[in-house]
Structure 1
Amino acid sequence: MSFADLGLSDELLQAVEAAGYSEPTPIQAQAIPPVLMMKDLIGIAQTGTGKTASFVLPMIDVLAHGRRRALMPRSLILEPTRELAAQVADNFVKYGKNHDLRMALLIGGVQMGEQVKALQEGVDVLIATPGRLMDLFERGKILLTGCELLVIDEADRMLDMGFIPDIETICSKLPTNRQTLLFSATMPPVIKKLADRFLENPKYIEVARPASTNTNIAQFKVPVTARKKRETLREILRTDNVSTAIIFCNRKTTVRELAKNLKQNGFAAGEIHGDMDQSSRIAELDCFKSGEINILVASDVAARGLDVKGVSHVFNYDTPWHPDDYVHRIGRTGRGGASGRAFTLVTPDDAEAVENVEKLTGGVIPLFGEVADSAEAAPAGEKAEAAPAPRKRASRSKTSTRTAAAPAKAKPAPKAAAKPAPAPVVEETVETEAPAPKGRVPRRRAEPPVAAPALEAAGDWNGPIPDFLAVSAIS
């Protein structure tokens, strides 16, 4: 199937082709036709499946005909974070270059002046975070009565961030005959209730089971002690063919400290977290996308929706507190059919959190390898058992003394040396080069020697005794 089979306009197909895409992903193939038919839609898809284009592309064609008015956006896209909103805006710029559509971005952390000016001039597409949108609405700077199409993206993330009351308020201000699209990676009961309330007979699409992880991502957990986490992370970064990586931490302070430590150890690392202003966050992301830095240390503010091509690795420096965050974190790699690797550093205190992740994803995360200090921390008795070589040598020494004991008891050693084939003496000479372990005294038993013909028959000796192996006696 090609994008042309989905009913998109020629102008849009040219933009898609110019962007380097020829075949739609499963979520795009299933979502685009019903959106073009003006149907409500619920899309359940894991991150990295091309979900953004599945609503951006048909929206461009739907909005191609119509007139924009001041302060009254024709469509509204709600995103949980600034980064996601900016990424959706980039998609509209890329795919809508052949259409006369005007877009505005309403996000926190930037001045309102330019945003208000754009609204006054009229916009076809308004991309907003709930907080900034509610702020401008309460100030009377925006009217929602002309909105024909609503997209609620990353609905489960909206729930996690406490935005559901704001979304309910926003939906109540929109026309009742609008078209509504809801996308989410999971469908918890609260989101199901929201969909039942605000969507009318929606088309339901699911391209992967809820909370499943991308099969293109090789996942590993790395047992580690808390004091060895930085050292273990640096070792994997050096040895696992890392081209670009995102490292997730649970706390903003950890993000800052880890990024500083990586820089001190020679890594090209940057950071992004909630305490940074928007311009600084955008600057760090631009450095990461351009390749100026290849390691980005981030809090969960960057866990969803960031689409950076070629991320080879994701590291959970801290095991996520919420299992859903694991799915979205590792989804930064293995995107667009590419393969990726995800490592989770697991301390003893993380056991319950890892179990919850494995329960959610329905599979056990394989062990990558023990940390370097695990052997050092092992009890002495365990280390002795892990080295079986001394026991093997002791067994061989015991065998040789049983074979050589009889000639020593009979004491005709000089005559024995003169015999043509003293096979027992040969075996004794070889084995005494590997003495029994210190502290163990071999027990001699008066057993008859094994006859030389028997050794020859068994294939243990097949020639005369070399002169350098002959011995005269055992003292």
Structure 2
Amino acid sequence: MSFADLGLSDELLRAVGESGYSDPTPIQRGAIPPVLMGRDLIGIAQTGTGKTASFVLPMIDVLAQGRSRARMPRSLILEPTRELAAQVAENFEKYGKYHKLSMALLIGGVSMGDQVKALEKGVDVLIATPGRLMDLFGRGNILLTGCNLLVIDEADRMLDMGFIPDIEEICTKLPKSRQTLLFSATMPPPIKKLADRFLSNPKSIEVARPATTNALIEQALVPVASRQKAATLTRLLKAEDVTTAIIFSNRKTTVRDLAQSLKRAGFATGQIQGDMEQADRIRELDRFKSGEINILVASDVAARGLDIKGVSHVFNYDVPWHPDDYVHRIGRTGRAGAKGKAFTLATPDDAEAVANIEKLTGGPIPRLAGDDDAAPPSVDETADAPAPAREARSRTRTRTRGGRGRREEAPEKVEAAEAAPPAPKRADPPAAAQRPAPRRDDRRRGAPEPADDGWNGPIPSFLDVGLTR
């Protein structure tokens, strides 16, 4: 089946062809025809399946007829993060090049005055994060009574970030006769309840089992001692097939230290983490996309929605505490039909987190031969022992308890503190691993990261004003 078989207009087919695509993905084959027919839709699809185009393409043709009015958008797309919102806008810009549709992007970190000016001109497509939309609505800068098409994207992520009450309020302000499309990687009960309340006889499409990983991604778990993680990562990065790589860590301070350590080791490395200014994060991402650097160290603010072609490898320097984050992290490789590799460095203390990931994904992650000293004594067992005792225990395999002392936090809003044992004598780990080990009580508290809605990508040309073609 080709895109021409889905009922899209000639202008749209031309734009799709010029973008280098000829065959639709399963979610696109299933979603585009019912959207064109005006039906409500529930799409269950994991990251990297072409989900965005499955609603962007038919929306362009649906909106081709009609005219926008000031402060009354004709359609609304809700995204959980700035990054995802901007990437959807880029899709509209790319595929709608032969249509005269106007857009506005309502996200944080951008001048509200410029966004209000764009709305006053009238827009066909409004792409927004819930917080900024509710803010402008409360100020009387936007009316939703003329919006006849609503897309709720990444619904399970909306749930994680606490946006469901906002979405429910937004839905009550839209016309009841609208068309509603809901996309999610999973369908937990709160999302099912949301769909039952606000969708009318929806067509349901599921192209992959929820929370499964991409079959094109070769996964491997590397058992390693905490004190050998940096050395093991350096060895893996020196493999000949590593062309571009994203390295994920649970903590923003580790991102900084690891990026600096890899730079000193001669790697072309950049970083993205929550303490960076927006302009700096955009600059780093642009350097990575252009090939100026080929290694990007990131915290989980970059895990979801980051769409960069040609990423050959993903490395989990830290095992993520939330199993869903593992799926989204490794989904940065193996995109658009390409193959990729994902390596996860796992210490004995990560046993519980690894087990939760394997339970979610439905199978064990293949193990690679790792560090010979992959089972060091736990921090708690050695922290208060005399130096000779600690050295003796470091040569003996002792029992550890996996995942101890870690608290569950909302994804992307808090990055918990990691336990960092003392630095080794012969390895050269980043500075984060050279600090004294924290006490067990400190590990339980975690280190809050400033709330961040995740925009790391380049600012499209239509950010300051509505783009009218």
TM-score normalised according to structure 1 size: 0.78
Q: Which runs of 5+ in 1 are unaligned?
A: 381-475
Confirm or deny: 8 A CA contact 2:348 2:375 kept in the other structure.
Answer: no
Give the partner amino acid of 2:290: S
Partner of residue 403, structure 1: none
Instruction: Tell me which residue corresponds to 2:332.
Output: 332
| Matched position secondary structure for 1:335 | coil
Partner of residue 246, structure 1: 246
Counterpart of 1:93 in structure 2 is: 93
Contact 1:109–1:277 (Cα < 8 Å) also in 2: no
Does the CA contact (< 8 Å) of 2:347 and 2:375 recur in 1? no
Q: Output the amino acid matched with 2:230.
A: R
Q: Which position in structure 1 is the counterpart of 2:301?
A: 301
Residue identity in the other structure for 2:189: P
What is the CA distance between 1:161 and its match in structure 2?
1.1
Is 1:350–2:350 an aligned residue pair?
A: yes
Letter of the 1:138 partner, please give it: G
Instruction: Give per-residue Cα distances to partners, 1:254-286, cap 9 Å, x unaligned.
Output: 222221221121111111122333322222221
* Higher relative helix content: 1
Match of 2:284 in 1: 284
CA distance in 2, matches of 1:203, 1:282: 38
Query: How much does 1:378 deviate?
Result: 5.8
1:66-465 equivalences in 2 (<5 Å)? 66-239=66-239, 241-374=241-374
Task: Point out where structure 2 has 5 or more consecutive residues left out of the alignment.
Answer: 377-393, 398-469
Separation in structure 1 between the aligned mates of residue 246 and residue 155 of structure 2, nearest angstrom? 23
Q: Name the structure 1 match of 2:391.
A: none
Alignment-derived partner of residue 64 in structure 1: 64
- State the shift of 1:244 in Å: 0.8
Q: State the match for 2:51 in structure 1.
A: 51
The number of residue pairs the alignment matches comes to: 380
SS in 2 for 1:215: coil
SS at match of 2:336: helix
1:239 match: secondary structure: coil
Tell me how far apart the structure 2 counterparts of residues 54 and 372 of structure 1 sit (CA, whole Å).
Answer: 47
Instruction: Find the counterpart in structure 2 of residue 3 from structure 1.
Output: 3
- 1:390 is matched with none
Moved over 3 A (4+): 372-380
Q: For residues 154-213 of structure 1, what are the alpha-carbon distances to aligned partners after superposition, in whole Å with 9 as ceiling and x for unaligned?
A: 111111111111111111111111111111111111111111111111100000011111
CA contact under 8 A between 2:225 and 2:375: conserved in structure 1?
no
Matched to 1:142, the amino acid is I
Percent identity reads: 78
Given that 1:2 and 1:23 are in contact with CA atoms closer than 8 Å, whether structure 2 keeps it comes out as yes
Q: Which amino acid is 1:133 matched to?
A: L
The CA distance in 2 between the partners of 1:108 and 1:375, in whole Å, is 45
Given that 1:213 and 1:327 are in contact with CA atoms closer than 8 Å, whether structure 2 keeps it comes out as: yes
Q: Aligned-pair distance for 1:339?
A: 0.6
> Residues 252 and 273 of structure 2 are in contact (CA less than 8 Å); yes or no, is this contact kept in structure 1?
yes
Q: String of CA shifts for 1:111-163, please: whole Å, max 9, x gaps.
A: 11211111111111111111111111111111111111111111111111111
Name whichever of 367-376 and 217-226 sits farther off.
367-376
Maintained 8 Å contact 2:71/2:142? yes
Paired with 1:375 and 1:123, the residues of 2 have a C-alpha distance of 59
TM-score (norm 2): 0.79
| TM superposition shift of 1:105 | 0.9
Q: Which structure has the greater CA radius of gyration?
A: 1
The Cα of 1:228 is off from its aligned counterpart by 1.4
> Given residue 285 of structure 2, which amino acid in structure 1 is its aligned partner?
L
Which residue type is aligned with residue 106 of structure 1? L
8 Å contact from structure 1 (residues 270, 295) kept in 2: yes
RMSD (Å), alpha carbons: 1.5
The structural deviation recorded for 1:69 is: 0.7
C-alpha displacement of 1:59: 0.4
Please report how far the alpha carbon of residue 293 of structure 1 lies from its aligned counterpart in structure 2 after TM superposition: 1.2
> Amino acid of the residue matched to residue 310 of structure 1?
G
Relative to structure 2, which stretch is displaced further, 275-284 or 124-133?
275-284
Counterpart CA distance in 1 for 2:165 and 2:375 is 52
Secondary structure in 1 aligned to 2:267? Answer: coil
CA distance in 2, matches of 1:371, 1:10: 57
Structure 2 distance, partners of 1:120, 1:219, is: 49
Q: Tell me by how many angstroms 1:318 deviates.
A: 1.1
Q: Which residue of 2 aligns with 1:16?
A: 16
**Could you tell me which amino acid in structure 2 is paired with residue 295 of structure 1?**
I
What residue identity is the alignment partner of 2:241?
N
Look up the equivalent residue of 2:211 and give its one-letter code. A
8 Å CA contact 1:106–1:129 kept in 2: the answer is: yes
Q: Which moved more, 1:64-73 or 1:275-284?
A: 275-284
- Are the equivalent residues in 1 in contact too, given 2:104–2:126 (CA < 8 A)? yes
Once the two structures are TM-superposed, the CA of residue 337 in structure 1 deviates from its matched residue by 1.1
Q: Determine helix, strand or coil for the equivalent of 2:238.
A: helix
Pairwise CA distance, 1:375: 10
In 2, the alpha carbon distance for the partners of 1:274 and 1:198 equals: 34
Partners in 1 of 2:118 and 2:356 — Cα distance? 45
Counterpart contact for 1:81–1:301, Cα < 8 Å: no
Whole-Å separation in 2 of the counterparts to 1:240 and 1:223? 21
Q: CA deviation at 1:351?
A: 0.4
Judged with a 3 Å threshold, the aligned counterparts in structure 2 of structure 1 residues 212 and 368 are, in CA distance, closer, same or farther, namely same
Q: Residue by residue, what CA displacement relative to the aligned partner does 1:397-450 show, whole Å, maximum 9, x if unpaired?
A: xxxxxxxxxxxxxxxxxxxxxxxxxxxxxxxxxxxxxxxxxxxxxxxxxxxxxx
Secondary structure, aligned partner of 2:145: coil
8 Å Cα contact 1:77/1:128 also seen in 2: yes
Q: Conserved in 2, the CA contact under 8 Å of 1:110 and 1:278?
A: no
Alpha-carbon distance in structure 1 between the residues aligned to 2:106 and 2:41: 24
